[in-house]
Copies of this chain bind each other. A is one copy, B any other.
Amino acid sequence: MKNIGGTPRPRLRKKARREQILLELKLHPHVRVSELAERFGVSTETVRRDFEALSADGLLFRAHGGGSAPMRGHYPGLDERSRQGMEERERIGRHAAGLVQPGDTLMIDAGSTTLQMARFLAYAGTPCTVLTNSLPVAMTLGQGETAEVILCPGEYLASESAVIGPETVAFIESHMVDQCFIGATAIDPRGVSETARGFASVKRAMIRRSRRTNLLIIRDKMGGTGFARVCGLDDISALITGAAPEGKLARALDRSGVEAMVAT
């Protein structure tokens, strides 16, 4: 059942079912095996197998009798390495949230690290005003009553649960804040870069309209390069990371006057 490069036949039974399951999870926090089996007209065992597959991909959190949507921020493919990454992201997020002063105005970028920051910021209850293009960030912070959240307009990109595009950029340009918190795919001595298409311009706009720029990045991403350039090191006020930068990168950061913080 490989069909590599072959005629795209109208075959979709298993796939359609799994898409439906994911869709359902966006609406209900929990779905039951038995319920779905009945709705799809398949045996419970088949649904169980779907669950197992989705769970292996990190798209579903398996539970007795059914499954839940995985935590926002837990991303597709949580193997050993990305689990490890989550701990680091949490540390970075907690540290970043601590940099926010009561009454601050902020911009927060989309991404799993910045989402962790939003969680801790909501938990801390620091009163502040936040402008973001990330739907999960908005929902997390909005939950806490204490922060005022402004969402950017734009085209919705499901893979990142965020909005992008010229409308997003224009909206950001019409504001000015105390500090912004940005994530990125990679950082090296020549600057910061991003892989996901359409996000670089949004990040640039946020940096432009903030008095202070904090870059949140996990250790794995130090030293690499992405597809689109976001900005140079000179544009960064502080780097918040899980491990101290080394070698050329460390020197370049120092030369550009970037404050390097290691989240413990």
Contact = CB atoms under 8 A, between A and B. Distances in A.
A19 B158 CA distance: 27
Contacts of A154: 150-151
Contacts of A29: 29, 61, 68-71
Secondary structure of the A contact surface, majority rule: mixed
A149 to B, nearest CB: 4
Contacts of A23: 119, 122-123, 140, 143-144
Contacts of A163: 151
Given A26-B143, A61-B30, A156 B150 contact: yes
A191 interface: no
A71 B142 contact: no
A135 B27 CA distance: 11
A155 B258 CA distance: 33
A119 B19 CA distance: 12
Per assembly, the copies of the chain total 2
B157 A142 contact: yes
Interface string A148-170: 11111111111001010001000
A163 B155 CA distance: 15
Interface string A38-76: 000000000000000000000001011111111111000
A26 B135 contact: no
Interface residues of A, number: 51
Contact of A27 (B19, B138, B140, B156): B140
Contacts of A140: 23, 26-27, 72
A22 interface: yes
A136 B161 CA distance: 11
A28 interface: yes
B151 A156 contact: yes
Which of A19, A30, A32, A161 counts the most B-chain CB atoms under 10 A from its CB?
Answer: A30
A149 B155 contact: yes
Nearest to A70: B29
13 contacts: A22-B143, A23-B143, A23-B144, A27-B115, A28-B61, A28-B71, A30-B63, A64-B64, A72-B72, A135-B135, A142-B157, A148-B155, A153-B153
The 4 closest A-B pairs by CB, nearest first: A64-B65, A153-B153, A142-B158, A149-B156
